[in-house]
Amino acid sequence: MARALAEGSDTTREVLDRLLADGNGVLRCDPAWVSRDFLPPGRRLGLPEEEYDVGERGAICERWLASTTKADNRVGPDDEGLSHVVGENGERLLLRDAVAADPAAVLGASYAAGHPAGLGRLAKLFDYAYRLPYHVHPPQAFASLVGCNAKDESYHFPAGVDLGAHPETFFGVHPWIAEQQAHETLLPYLVDWDSDLILRHARAELQVPGEGFHVPSGVLHAPGTALTLELQEDSDVLAMFQALNAGRIISKDLLFKDVRPQDRAEHGERFPLGFVDWEVNGDPWFYENRHLSPQPVVGASGDAEETWIFYNTSKYSGKRLVVPAGGRHAVREPGAYSVFAWSGVGTYAGHEVRGGEPGLDELVVTYDAATREHEVVNSGSEDLVVFTFFGPDVHDGAPTIPVRHR
């Protein structure tokens, strides 16, 4: 709890105003650790070994970055998944509450007026010892039934990290299932709920360090074991389609996690099949249309190498910035964004950043600071590698993959 709020003397708005003034428009975030109970952790998030296991909650498998999204877990603290912004004097405030208290101060008046959902995106690291089960995120028409957003998402696989035992992701379905409208091919696996054989109908793609994928909602996928940086819509909806994973049967309740009770009662296992966008899942050019390789940022100048790593959608975007030892790089962005320092040391808009040191590696650059020129400085002897994340409609310069058809 923020010091001033605990004393009952200051409002959230007043604390935010002080933090913005002290940081010259930049807010520092504490790490937000998220547990999951359906798979063991990969233990690559940098926590002390004894801090991964959290009892009935499972284990710490994810870190959410500059998050205003609450983790939708069966059991856990009320603020799980929500980031806190912190001040040098011990003041502490939920980023979600900060945005709600003064959207214009954080996002800019025009953007806030057109985007009442706030930041509208969620960045995270996820880290599992086994491949995630084959699952789908319901498109907006279905997510709305349970009062949630859809969950389009994109992946980037940071280089220099052990890839784990199964560094490949299963995507979609074989084209014949979509072409022949044989959608109920998957139904027996959902009814029987006793195996992982549903994966025989999907295609696997390697997780290549430095690359990634764009995965719209409605696409079936089973992410592999590479440590993954993910950028997605502001949501935590899903339906699991794979029963057996990592040697055990997961709860079938996860198939119906975001299904209304009346829809489950009336349609049973057929209802989640409706979440699947069969045309996209069966696209024979799925890899070519969804694979993300780094693309240079047009007009970038200075000492740094700046590339787009999250693109192909207006719902979010993101970059990778590499500043060499002793280098400096000027930045000006069209709107608010968040920063995650991956490796190296330096300053970002005047604030110390240290990759690999939670508490010193995560910032939110609010609108006023983002839209004036600010500088990234590498003060160390190795590359300073930084990821930056933008919400919907902030950038119109991110590339789009030309769609290929049969």
CA distance 311 to 315: 9
Q: What pLDDT digit, counting tens, does each position of 253-281 carry?
A: 999 999 999 999 999 999 999 999 999 99
Q: What pLDDT digit, counting tens, does each position of 19-62 carry?
A: 999 999 999 999 999 999 889 999 999 999 999 999 999 999 99
In the block, tokens 């233990």 appear at 43
CA distance 80 to 29: 14
pLDDT computed for residue 192 by the predictor = 98
Show the tokens assigned to 149.
């957003």
Residue 219: CB partners within 8 Å, gap ≥ 6?
136, 137, 171, 172, 277, 280, 281
Burial, 7: exposed, middle or buried (Cβ in 10 Å; 0-12, 13-18, 19+)? Answer: exposed
Q: Which of 344, 294, 338 is nearest to 316 (CA)?
A: 338
pLDDT computed for residue 38 by the predictor = 87
Report which residue type is found at 333: E
pLDDT computed for residue 221 by the predictor = 98
Burial, 299: exposed, middle or buried (Cβ in 10 Å; 0-12, 13-18, 19+)? Answer: exposed
3-state DSSP of the chain: CCHHHHHCCCCHHHHHHHHHHHHCCEEEECCEEEEECCCCECCCCCCCHHHCECHHHCEEEEEEECCCCCCCCCCCCCCCCCCEEECCCCCEEEHHHHHHHCHHHHHCHHHHHHCCCCCCEEEEEECECCCCCCEECCCHHHHHHHCCCCCCEEEECCCCCCCCCCCEEEECCCHHHHHCCCHHHHHHHHHHCCCCHHHHHCEEEECCCCCEEEECCCCCEECCCCCEEEEEECCCCCEECCCEECCEECCHHHCCCCCCHHHHHHHCCHHHHCCCCHHHHCCCCHHHHHEECCEECCCCCCCCEEEEEECCCCCCEEEEEEECCCCEEEECCCCCEEEEEEECEEEECCEEEECCCCCCCEEEECHHHHCCCEEEEECCCCCEEEEEEECCCCCCCCCCCCCCCC
Q: Which of 264, 392, 241 is nearest to 316 (CA)?
A: 392
- Contact of 90 with 3, CB cutoff 8 Å: yes
CA distance 58 to 75: 9
Q: Which of 206, 31, 60 is nearest to 123 (CA)?
A: 31
Report which residue type is found at 266: E
Q: What pLDDT digit, counting tens, does each position of 219-257 carry?
A: 999 999 999 999 999 988 999 999 999 999 999 999 999
Could you give phi then psi for residue 377, rounded to 5 degrees?
A: -125, 130
pLDDT band at residue 299, thresholds of 50, 70 and 90?
Answer: confident
Q: Which of 32, 72, 60 is nearest to 236 (CA)?
A: 72
Q: Which domains are delineated in the chain?
A: 31-66+119-292 (2.60.120.10), 295-390 (2.60.120.10)
pLDDT band at residue 406, thresholds of 50, 70 and 90?
Answer: low
- Contact of 32 with 63, CB cutoff 8 Å: yes
Report which residue type is found at 339: V
Residue 363: CB partners within 8 Å, gap ≥ 6?
26, 27, 28, 29, 66, 338, 339, 348, 349, 351, 353
pLDDT band at residue 321, thresholds of 50, 70 and 90?
Answer: very high
Q: What is the mean pLDDT of the chain?
A: 95
- Contact of 355 with 345, CB cutoff 8 Å: yes
Q: Which of 51, 69, 70 is nearest to 60 (CA)?
A: 51
pLDDT band at residue 171, thresholds of 50, 70 and 90?
Answer: very high
Q: Which of 260, 240, 262 is nearest to 251 (CA)?
A: 240
CA-based torsion, 115, 117, 123, 126: positive or negative: negative
In the block, tokens 């057109």 appear at 114
pLDDT(6) > 80: no
CA distance 235 to 67: 11
Show the tokens assigned to 61.
């498998």
pLDDT(4) > 80: no
Q: What pLDDT digit, counting tens, does each position of 348-386 carry?
A: 999 999 999 999 999 999 999 999 999 999 999 999 999
